[in-house]
Amino acid sequence: MERDKPKWLFILNPIAGGGRALRSWPAVAAELQTQGVKYDVVHTERPGHALELAAAYCRSYGRIVAVGGDGTCQEVVRGLVQAGAQADTALGVLPLGTGNDFARGLGLPTEPRQALRALLAAEVHQVDLARVNGRPFINVAGIGFDAEVAALLNRNRDRIPFRVPGPALYLAGILYELIRYRNAPLSLTWETGELAQKALLVAVGNGRCYAGGLQMCPHAEMDDGAFDVVVAGDLHRLHVLRLLPTLFSGEHLKDPQVKLFRCRHLRVEGPPHLSIHADGEVIGQLPAEFTLEKSALAVLRPVVWAARSTTVGTAETRSQVSLFCL
């Protein structure tokens, strides 16, 4: 029977969470030994290395676990997709980074040993695979103000002399960028509609959160076959400042200038200098093409999350929010 057990590979980013992943590993390794789990662990050495490792090893292991934050997770997903990983190779996450929004969406605990126990008892579940201009993303991608904030933070990350929590860093970037950003005319086209207006931002969510817990797309589900698209209209600076606290609860959707719709395919056009971000990483400029592949990624999901998700419903059963929930 031992031969039938899945083989585990842990891809550990030693600098994730300001070194938290590396510091936490001895406790994780001890728990693996206690549980009698046979595993291998490899450390990333540079940006993009987790992608390379996932692509190289996905056919040799049944379970590939990203040990780090959302950046590590996204790289591992991209590696699995690039290598054409089979359905019997499942992604796991040990949330030990600065932002752990993907793990949060899967219902995983943040304490390392508790998260590991949840993984070892987890079910394999198929979630949707989101892409922007062909590149996979795991939480939220977007255009406009939040993408320019991401560009600002990406440019200046190495200049920050101390570790700042994800939400605090993102809010600082928002306040700085708010001084100079100008809302832009955007054109959106999806399967059942189109929209042209001046807007602060467009956020496209397969997951609910980004930037360490900001609930930009609070109703999004990873396995319902549809994006949640949030469009913040032509908001002035004071309006944006009033909305900021509501991002932690998702209450920004109650604002009459914030629109929500749902789709499987979206094209966004506008000024060609505007950045596109995927999970907070700038990947290019407009235009942007968003696509969703239903049930294309196998993940390890805690059993309690599975029970919760059955009450949510599919894209069709939630269609009452599909057209501009104001």
* Confidence (pLDDT) at 87: 78
Min mean pLDDT across 162-166, 177-181, 197-201 is at: 162-166
Mean pLDDT score, 103-120:
93
Mean pLDDT score, 108-137:
95
- The H helix count followed by the E strand count for the chain is 9, 16
User: How many CA atoms does the CB half-sphere of 5 hold within 13 Å?
Assistant: 11
Min mean pLDDT across 56-60, 174-178, 207-211 is at: 174-178
* Confidence (pLDDT) at 173: 81
Could you name the CATH architecture of 2-121?
Answer: 3-Layer(aba) Sandwich (3.40)
Q: Which residues of the chain does CATH 2.60.200.40 include?
A: 137-296
Mean pLDDT score, 146-160:
78
Binning pLDDT at 50, 70 and 90, where does residue 155 land? Answer: confident
* Confidence (pLDDT) at 322: 30
SS3 (DSSP) at 158? helix
Mean pLDDT score, 226-233:
98
End-to-end CA distance of the chain: 55
* Confidence (pLDDT) at 166: 59
Mean pLDDT score, 201-213:
94
Binning pLDDT at 50, 70 and 90, where does residue 321 land? Answer: very low
Q: Which residues of the chain does CATH 3.40.50.10330 include?
A: 2-121
* Confidence (pLDDT) at 324: 30
Q: pLDDT, tens digit, for every residue of 25-37?
A: 999 999 999 999 9
* Confidence (pLDDT) at 304: 67
Q: pLDDT, tens digit, for every residue of 87-100?
A: 789 999 999 998 89
pLDDT above 50 for 197: yes
179 conformational bin, left if phi > 0, alpha if psi -120 to 50, beta if neither: alpha
* Confidence (pLDDT) at 232: 98
Instruction: List the one residue out of 255, 250, 259, 126 whose CA is nearest residue 186.
Output: 259
Residue 223 and residue 297: Cα distance in Å, rounded?
10
In angstroms, the Cα distances linking 77 to 66, 218, 226, 249, 298 are: 9, 22, 19, 27, 10
pLDDT above 90 for 76: yes
Q: What percent of the chain shows pLDDT beyond 70? A: 87
* Confidence (pLDDT) at 273: 94
Instruction: List the one residue out of 305, 316, 278 whose CA is nearest residue 133.
Output: 278
* Confidence (pLDDT) at 319: 33
Binning pLDDT at 50, 70 and 90, where does residue 39 land? Answer: very high
The more confident residue out of 109 and 161 is: 109
Q: Which CATH class is domain 137-296?
A: mainly beta
pLDDT above 80 for 178: yes
Q: pLDDT, tens digit, for every residue of 283-310?
A: 999 999 999 999 999 999 998 654 444 3
